[in-house]
Amino acid sequence: MDRRRRLRASVLLVLAVGLVALSGCGPSESLNAVTKQGHKISDLWYISFILTAIVLAIIFGVLIYAMIKFHGSHQPSTRVGNTRLEIIWTVIPAALVTFLFIMSVRTMLAVDETHPDAIVIDVTGNQWWWDYTYPSLGVTTAYELHVPVGKPVQLKVTGGDVIHSYWVPKLGWKMDTIPNKVNTMNLTATRAGTFDGACAEFCGTQHAGMRMRVVAQPPDEFDAWVKQQQQDASALPATSLERNGRATFLSQTCAICHTVNGTSAQGKVGPDLTHIGSRSTIGSGEVLNTPANLEAWIRDPASIKPGVLMPGYDKLSDQQIKALVAYLEGLK
Ligand SMILES: [Cu+2]
């Protein structure tokens, strides 16, 4: 290859690599966050991106200019030492790095700022589901985190068994959930909506099945949800099928692992089922909460979610399973 073609090839290569690198930079979910804190993080990201893009453009501009301008000249420059230039290319990068450092610290402080009136929610990552407890409200649920729009919320995240990571991209960032350690994550939702995520720290068989959903609601809707979740299930259900289901639930081993408030079932191994009928899915988003899926889940949860830490109840009669399904679907 002659020099000219080699030069053209290298310029093309540089452009191609640059384009490929930039193509991955479309605004991602995290850069379109729906929380005050997420916006602060994406602002920082955009500032760093624009600054580094300018630096990259200048460096590549000079490089390409030099490649074209001095192409073919065999005479190396004899110029050595230029104090003014050296000062400039030391001071500018130092200033840029200092600026980015200050911006990062400011962003960290803003994101970590705890609001005194924040609603505290304990979030525990278990194999393979997320437990949410609102201590001040007396509410416990799983998989679906409900938060009021515009009100500060503080998640206190921890791990029940191994390390997981709480990651709903639309929140703007993620947080490790570590056994015996509590990390805090402040959120103020800026708009209503349903936002999905998944565990982001490899934790075992159902790592990919550890989904979570954040439901940000206008405050009055959130309050209505809280009121409904605060009700216990002590009242006997209406139909005899559901009452049979209740008796089956309490006489089988379900109660060792699950809580249904207002009954003798107070187990803490699996998700709280007091309002399972009002949740959209079973098994942390694995399947929709329909009677057919619930039946299949009780018979053999591992066929739906391999590695699940709940035994199958295939030994129960069809009658008992139908009754259990009716009871659980009725727990709104
Ligand atoms: Cu996990």
Mean pLDDT value across residues 66-71: 88
pLDDT (average), residues 68-74:
82
Beta bridge partners of 184: 156
Going from the N-terminus, what domains does the chain have, and what CATH number goes with each?
A: 3-71+81-112 (1.10.287.90), 119-218 (2.60.40.420), 240-329 (2.60.40.420)
Q: How far is the CA of 44 from the centre of ligand 1 (A)?
A: 28
Q: Residue 20: what pLDDT?
A: 66
Of the candidates 135, 314, 130, which has an alpha carbon nearest to the alpha carbon of residue 213? 130
Distance from the alpha carbon of residue 91 to the mean position of ligand 1, in angstroms: 45
Question: Is the Cα dihedral 264, 268, 270, 276 positive or negative?
Answer: positive
120 C-alpha vs ligand 1 centroid, how far in Å? Answer: 22
For residue 206, the CA-to-ligand 1 centroid distance in Å is 7
Encode pLDDT of 11-51 as tens digits: 787 777 766 666 555 457 778 899 999 999 999 999 999 99
- The pLDDT of residue 21 is 64
- State in Å: Cα 319 to ligand 1 middle: 35
Backbone phi and psi for residue 290, each to the nearest 5 degrees, phi listed first: -115, 160
Residue pLDDT, tens place only, 274-318: 999 999 999 999 999 999 999 999 999 999 999 999 999 999 999
* Contact assessment for residue 121 and residue 146, using Cβ atoms and an 8 Å cutoff: no
What tens digit of pLDDT does each residue of 107-138 get? 999 999 999 999 999 999 999 999 999 999 99
Centre of ligand 1 from the C-alpha of residue 304, in Å: 17
Residues 6+ apart with CB under 8 A from 230: 137, 138, 139
CA of 256 to the centre of ligand 1 (A): 23
Q: What is the pLDDT of residue 23?
A: 58
- Residue range 69-79: average pLDDT? 76
Task: Give tens-digit pLDDT for 214-265.
Answer: 999 999 999 999 999 999 999 999 999 999 999 999 999 999 999 999 999 9
